[in-house]
Amino acid sequence: MAGNTFGKLFRVTTAGVSHGPGYLCIIDGCPAGLPLAVDDLLPDLQRRKPGQSKLTTQRDEADLPEIWSGIFEGKTDGTPIGIVFRNHDHRSQDYSDIADKYRPGHADYTFDAKYGFRDYRGGGRSSARETICRVAAGAVAKKLLALEGIRVLGYVTQVGTVRAVIPDPTAISLEQVEATPIRCPDPQAAAAMISLIDSVRKDCDSIGGIAELVAVGLPAGLGEPVFDKLKADLGKALLSLPAVVGFEYGSGFQAATLRGSENNDYYLPPPPRIHTATNRHGGILGGISSGEPIVCRVAIKPTSSIPRWQPTVTRQGEATEIFVRGRHDPCLLPRFIPMGEAMMALTLVDHWLRWKAGRPVAAEAARANTS
């Protein structure tokens, strides 16, 4: 199966299925000398893991990483970093009834159409459990970016029709995000979101929403001007995550209602650097970072697996009904946040390495002399 590797200089490859022995993550291109241990991966993995609260699936997985290669004496050695996760609490029997039926909203039919057969145990390769590898790799990327003063943070801004008020995305702290199980930094909105999710869960249904992702501290100049635009790669990265159905950055779709004079961000003179008075461009101009914070949003659909009878068809095209058993999130937003952060960090670290590699020698020397 193609399409299992992400990135050009900082490359991440994942393998495994949700009801198999486990998952394998290989990170290639991480510079040598970065201090790295299992403990560096655990915080984000704990934020992603199931069973955090009644808002998430109750599958009981420890999600403990085993680093098999790429580390010597506590630091990366420049060779591929291999990380293994073992599955323990997979209940494949919960899916035996759907072996010959297509679940609404899932990739069951499209997998059959592409490969001629599918792993029906929990979605196989398309399962969101694959994101455990991305979150682990993202933790490495975040640590590398932090050395350059770059921070990536995500949070929930909407669940259903409940919207949070976020006056300044760059002022949000991790502590504010983690203060509630829904990971919304607006306490009043968070309480309403939790109440809505609880109501939906009791009704054997699910609900979607919106997450916002912010990166601060980036230099200007990251990204390529044509096909590998930073906005395009961020869109690809985030849309590659399960359940993501929409992506926008800066003013996004609101720009369609504005005039140029309203949407343009006007420059202010230094010091300390060239910057804009506003940031409707979301930190990206012409596909290249402007030095302003990168702000983007993704729409997350309601969980497709819901414990109620739904009409569907068999693989032979015969009408039937399906009841999806198993343990599923009534709302994907709380666990999505570390996944979204990971894909943003992986995109940025890859473009940061490409930017470093493409800098003129004289420019790098001048930069070093002024720092």
Q: What is the pLDDT of residue 177?
A: 97
Q: What global pTM score does this model have?
A: 0.92
Closest among 222, 228, 360 to 291, alpha carbons compared: 222
DSSP 254-304: GGGGS-HHHHPPPEEPPSS--EES--TTTTEETTEE-SSPEEEEEEEPPPS
Strands 5-6 and 309-313 turn out to be: unpaired
Max avg pLDDT among 95-109, 169-183, 265-279, 324-338: 169-183
pLDDT of residue 270: 79
What is the mean predicted confidence (pLDDT) over 210-228? 97
**CATH number of the CATH domain containing 243:** 3.60.150.10
Q: What is the pLDDT of residue 61?
A: 62
Using CA atoms, how far apart are residues 189 and 73, in angstroms rounded to an integer?
A: 46
Rounded to an integer, the average pLDDT of 224-245 is 97
Q: CA-based angle 339:342:344, to the nearest 5? A: 110
Contact between residue 45 and residue 25 where contact means Cβ atoms under 8 Å apart: no
Least trusted range by pLDDT, from 129-133, 135-139, 311-315, 324-328: 324-328
Tens-place pLDDT, residues 88-102: 865 555 566 778 899
Contacts 24+ apart (CB under 8 A), 268-275: 274/220
What pLDDT is recorded for position 91? 58
Q: What is the average pLDDT across 173-177?
A: 97
Boundaries of domain holding 30: 5-370
pLDDT digits (tens, 9 = 90+) for 144-173: 999 999 999 999 999 999 999 999 999 999
The partner residues of 244 in beta bridges, in order of sequence, read 300
The Cα–Cα gap between 88 and 91 comes to 9
Mean pLDDT, residues 170-177 taken together = 97
- pLDDT score, position 56: 62
pLDDT band at 116 (very low <50, low <70, confident <90, very high): confident
User: How many structural domains comprise the chain?
Assistant: 1
Residue 314 reports pLDDT greater than 60: yes
What DSSP state is assigned to residue 171? G
Q: What is the mean pLDDT of the chain?
A: 91
